[in-house]
Amino acid sequence: MGEIELTRQARRTREYSPFRQAGGIVGAALVLTSVLALAGCGSGDDGTTSTADLTKSPERPSAERTQLAAIQGAAARAKGRKACEGMTPLEVARHYQAAAREAGVTKRFAQLATEPSAKVQSSSGYPRLAAAIYATTTPEKSRAAAAAGCAEVLAADGEGGEVSSERTGQTVPPSQGGADQKGSN
Amino acid sequence: MKQKFALLTIVGALLALAVPAVSSASMYPAGATFEVGSAGAQPTLGTSIGSCQIKVAGTVPKAPANEATSLLFALTPATSTCSSGASIKFNGEWKLLATNFSFQMAASGGPSNAVEFRSTTLPNCKLAGNYVLGGLFHNGISSPKSMKSAMQPTSSSSLTWADDGGTCAIAGTKETLTYGSGTGIWTVNNLTTPATPIIVAN
C-alpha cells in the first residue's frame, strides 16, 4: 500500500514539477527508497515472527496437539458407544463384518468374531473382540478410542446392568435398549 | 482323503527339514554388515488390527565361516514404525538361514514369546510365539550396473493369541502374520560397502 502511495506521489511530482527531469529522478529515488524500506521492514518483521514462532513452537503446538488428541479421542469414543449401542457383541461383529473385510481384516479373524465358538462367545473378552471388528472400520488414528467406546457399551449390556442413555440422560434397562435399536445404525 | 492329506503334510515337513540340512551355502562379502529394507520399502509384519515396519540388520560371518554347509547366523530386529496403536516386541534370538536361493528368518529361543504383537484396538490380547519367515533370496549385481540383492518373503508361520493382563476372547487361536507391502520385495543393503551386493551362493 505504502509503495503504491509513494509511486503515485512520485507520478504527481513528475507531472506538476517544473523541473520534470529532476522530478523524475527524485520520484525514482523515492520509489526505490520506499521499496528498500518496505523490504527491510518486511524482513525485520519476518525475522521477529520466526524467532517468536521458534521460541513458542516446542510448547504451544505440543499442548494444542495433546488437547486436540484428547478431544478427538473423546469424540471417537462417543462415536464408538453410539455405533454399538443396542446391539449384542455378536450383532456388532456381524453388522460390521463386511466393512471390516473391506478395511483389510482377514476372513479368519473376522470369523473368530462373527462365528464364535461357545468358549469365545462366553468369554469376558468377547465384547472387546467385537469392538475391535467395528473399530477397523473407523479412521486409524481413532481406532483405539472407538474400540474402547464400543466395548464399553457392549460390556455394560453383557453384564445385564443398566445402560446409561446419553440422549436422555436417563438409565434404561438393557431389555429396552436391545435389539430394537439396531435400526439406528 | 484326510489320511492322504496328513501323509503329504508329514512328507512335506520332512522334506522342508531335510533340504536345508543337505544344502550348502555361502554368503558374501564376508564380514559385511547389512540391513534388510530401505526407506519406503521396509519389511512389514501385520495382522488384521495393525501392522509394524521392522528393521532387520546382520553381519555376514567372517571367512571361512561365511562358507558353510548350513549358513546360519544372528540377526538384530528392531521396530521402525507401527500403525496407530500397534506395537511389536522382539524377545528371542533372530537368525538367518541362507540356502542357495532361499532364506529363512527365524525368531526363537530365549523367552517363549520371541515375537509379541499388541494393538490398543484389542486390549488384553497379544499375538505371540516363535516365528519363521521364509522366502526367496535374489542376488544383486555390481556390473554393468549396481543392483541390490533382495529378499522376497513367500511364507510366514503363525503366532498365537494369548491373554495379556486380562482375558483375551481368542486366546489359543492362531493367526499368520502378513508380510511385505507394495512389491513385497525387501532390498538387502550392504552398509559396509554399499556398491557391493550381499549375495548368497552355492
What is the phi/psi pair of residue B27, to 5°? -130, 140
Are B105 and B95 in contact by the 8 Å Cβ rule? The answer is yes
A147 and B121: CB-CB below 8 Å? yes
Convert A117-133 to b/e letters by CB count within 10 Å (16 or more is b): eeebbebebbbbbbbbb
pLDDT at B181: 62
Which residues does A contribute to its contact with B (CB < 8 Å)?
100, 104-106, 108-110, 112, 116, 120, 123-126, 128-129, 132, 135-136, 140-141, 143-144, 147-148
B170 and A110: CB-CB below 8 Å? no
B196 touches chain A (CB under 8 A): no
Nearest CA in chain A to B85: A144
What is the pTM (predicted TM-score) of this model? 0.68
Give yes or no for residue B43 having a pLDDT over 90: no
ipTM score: 0.75
pLDDT tens for B159-187 read: 999 999 999 999 999 999 888 766 778 99
Q: How far apart are CA B133 and CA B149, in angstroms?
A: 18
Q: How far is CA B20 from the centre of its chain?
A: 16
Nearest CA in chain A to B120: A144
pLDDT at B71: 86
Q: How far apart are CA B131 and CA B94, in angstroms?
A: 9
Nearest to B48 among A124, A136, A141 (CB): A136
Q: How far apart are CA B183 and CA B198, in angstroms?
A: 20
Q: For A112-116, B70-74, B162-166, which range has the lowest pLDDT when averaged over its residues?
A: B70-74
Q: How far is CA A19 from the centre of its chain?
A: 65
Best interface-test mutation with B: which of A77, A96, A120, A122 has the largest number of B CBs within 10 A? A120
pLDDT tens for B79-135 read: 878 998 999 998 888 999 988 788 999 888 766 688 999 999 999 999 999 999 999
Chain length of chain B: 202
pLDDT tens for A78-99 read: 999 999 999 999 999 999 999 9
Are A123 and B167 in contact by the 8 Å Cβ rule? The answer is yes
Nearest to B122 among A106, A132, A141 (CB): A132
Interface of B with A in 143-162 (CB under 8 A): none
Q: How far apart are CA B54 and CA B156, in angstroms?
A: 15
pLDDT at A82: 95
B170 and A112: CB-CB below 8 Å? yes
Angle value at C-alpha B5, between B3 and B9, nearest 5 degrees: 115
- All residues of chain B having their beta carbon less than 8 Å from the beta carbon of residue A148 are 123
3-state secondary structure of B138: strand
* Strand ranges (E), B37-185: 44-47, 50-59, 67-68, 71-82, 86-90, 93-99, 102-108, 115-119, 125-129, 131-138, 149-156, 158-163, 174-176, 178-179
Q: How much helix, strand and coil, in percent to the nearest 5, is found in chain A? A: 75, 0, 25
- Distance set, CA B161 to CA B28, B112, B172 (Å): 39, 13, 6
pLDDT at A159: 56
B81 touches chain A (CB under 8 A): no
B121 touches chain A (CB under 8 A): yes
Are A86 and A184 in contact by the 8 Å Cβ rule? The answer is yes
B164 touches chain A (CB under 8 A): no
- All residues of chain B having their beta carbon less than 8 Å from the beta carbon of residue A132 are 49, 119, 121-122
Name the CA radius of gyration of chain A, rounded.
33
- A38 or B41: which carries more pLDDT confidence? B41
Q: How far apart are CA B122 and CA A144, in angstroms?
A: 8
Q: How far apart are CA B142 and CA B36, in angstroms?
A: 18
Nearest-Cα distance to chain A for B123, in Å, is: 7
Give yes or no for residue B58 having a pLDDT over 80: yes
* Amino acid of residue A37: A
| Average pLDDT of span B60-74 | 89
Spell out the SS3 assignment of A79-107.
HHHHHHCCCCHHHHHHHCHHHHHHCCCCH
Nearest to B168 among A105, A116, A125 (CB): A125
B84 and A141: CB-CB below 8 Å? yes
* Amino acid of residue A11: R
Give yes or no for residue A55 having a pLDDT over 70: no
3-state secondary structure of A167: coil
